[in-house]
Every structure is written in C-alpha cells, then in structure tokens.
Amino acid sequence: MAVLGIVGSPRKGKRTDKLVEAALQGVRSAGMAARKVYLIDYDIRPFCGSGGSDDAFGLGPRDLSAMCGEAEALIIGAPVYWGDINGLTKDFMDTVQTPDSNGKPALGVAIAGGSGKGLLSGVQSIYHFFYHRQMRGIDPTPVSRFNMEEALAGLMHSGARLAEAARQRERFPGVGREERWPEVLAHYTTLDYLDDGPLEEFLMLAEQLLELSADGRGKADLDMVDRARIEFEEALDALEAGRTEDAARHAVGCYQILYF
C-alpha cells in the first residue's frame, strides 16, 4: 500500500515540493508508505494528435501511468502560472493513464507563490482532473505566500486523512462510468472552493493578508491594518447586500493596502 505524491513544479525543493512533502509526511504518520515523483524527470509532452483521450493516454510515460494505477491514493501539487496550473502538470493530466481510478482518494494543492492570484482557479483545475477521472477528491488546498505556514500544517492532517480514505476506499456505485456520474457529482458538490470565482479569491487573499499583518508577519503598520480591515468589512457588507461590484473594489482595496 502506498500513496504517490506528484510534484508538478520543475523546481525541486521549492514550494510545491515542500507542500507535497508535508502531505506525504501526514500519510506516513498514519502508517502508510509514501513515494514522491517529479514530473520534470519524465518525458511528458503535450498532446498534439488528432484523436481523442484514448490516443492521448498512449503518450504519457508508461512507468508514470503504472505508478498512478498502483497507488492507493494520489497527491498532486502544482505551481500556479498566470492563474492556472502550469503546463507540465496539465500535459501530465492530459496524457497519463489512471487505471482503476473509480473512487481513488486524491488530494490536490496549488501554490500561487507570487501575487497569490490564481490560488483558487489553480486548485480547481486539479480537482477538475480528479472529477473527470472519477477519483474521490478530498481537502482542496489553495496556497499563497501568505498562508504557506498554515497550509503546510493543514496538509499534514490532509495526508493522514488521505491514508485513512485509502484504507477504506469507497468506489462510486454504478456499472460503468456513465452510471457513476450522479454520485461523483454529488461528492464534488461537498468540497470547498470548487465553486468560487475571482471575487472569493481576492477576499481570501485579503483575509490571509489581514491575519498575517495583524500578527506582525507582514509589512504593514497598525494604521494600515486598521484601514485594510475597514475595506474588508465594507467588502463583506457589499457582498451581503448583493453589490458585487462594490465588494470587488473593497476586497482589492484591502489587498492592496497590505500587499508586500
């Protein structure tokens, strides 16, 4: 029994690697074996054929597909480039074969390590992959520079939960892919962040910056934190009143006061 951790960043030892490693530590702490691979070590190419997904499967490195098939659960970590997962991770997803993926537990983490923008759209892309392969996604983990410490701690727990889910793997019921969609879709409606858009993303980043700055971990002084908090509260009020355009302006306002 082993969980496979997949690092989608070409940079070994950097943020994506550290986040995947934290989840793998959680897996090991729950008594399950864990293994890590780096996509950059494989010959992964974009699908440039004229056929469909069956043709694309043939393109992925066979040993990588075999490892994904044998793994009891998967962890995918990807860096965010321009608001989405990087091309290497996407090309892997397009071409990898994942035999016996029904209900396989899966955990995804996306790190938007610059402005933070794209942390939600990035993690959503990873869960689109899990959903379409009918895996059982758990704990979507969006990460920026501002919540990195909290995310590392959270991933230890998620890794342990993943190991537990792997031990008691729950396949989606139904004969064949089509019959399974009602339960697959029902499961994905229960996960956090998958329905959020850019406004929720800015609110999330603003909240992360507020927390960090209030703890003295940011660059802002107390006056800036107070001004930012007012912007944040105005964003929430506007959102509640259905004034989404105002909510957007105030959410960005809070973020811009505290950004470093």
Residue closer to ligand FMN, measured from CB, 39 or 163: 39
Tell whether residue 114 is a contact of ligand FMN (CB under 6 A): yes
DSSP 8-state assignment for residue 31: T
SS3 category, 106: strand
Under the binding rule (CB under 6 A), the answer on residue 117 touching ligand FMN is yes
What is the maximal distance between C-alpha atoms in the chain? 61
The residues, ordered by sequence, that sit 6+ positions from 10 with a Cβ below 8 Å of its Cβ are 39, 40, 86, 88
As a whole number of angstroms, the distance between CA 55 and CA 51 comes to: 6
Taking the CB of residue 35, how many other CB atoms lie within 10 A of it?
14
Binding residue (CB under 6 A) for ligand FMN from 82, 185, 241, 244: 82
Burial class of residue 216 (count of CB atoms within 10 Å of its CB; 0-12, 13-18, 19+) = exposed
What distance in Å separates the CA atoms of residue 119 and residue 14, rounded to the nearest whole number?
A: 17
Q: Which stretch binds ligand FMN (CB under 6 A): 8-16, 30-38, 48-56, 252-260?
A: 8-16
**113 touching ligand FMN, by CB under 6 A:** yes
- Which pair of tokens denotes residue 134? 């009918």
Other beta carbons within 10 angstroms of residue 134's beta carbon come to 20
Task: Work out how close the CB of 14 gets to ligand FMN at its nearest, in angstroms, rounded to a whole number.
Answer: 3
Shortest CB 18 distance to ligand FMN, Å: 8
Question: Which of 29-37, 74-82, 191-199, 222-230 is the region at the interface with ligand FMN (rule: CB under 6 A)?
Answer: 74-82
> Taking CB under 6 A as the rule, does residue 69 contact ligand FMN?
no
Kindly tell me which residue out of 27, 30, 88, 112 binds ligand FMN, with binding defined by CB under 6 A: 112
Q: How far is the CB of 114 from ligand FMN (least distance, A)?
A: 3
| Smallest gap from residue 110 Cβ to ligand FMN (A) | 9
SS3 108: strand
Cα dihedral 32, 35, 142, 119 in deg (nearest 10): -170
Comparing CB distances to ligand FMN, the nearer of 150 and 226 is: 150
Contact between 89 and ligand FMN by CB under 6 A: the answer reads: no
Q: Between 13 and 216, whose beta carbon lies closer to ligand FMN?
A: 13
Determine which residue in the list 34, 111, 138, 160 makes contact with ligand FMN, applying CB under 6 A: 111
Note whether 5 binds ligand FMN by CB under 6 A: no
State the residues that interact with ligand FMN by CB under 6 A: 9, 11, 14-16, 79-83, 111-118
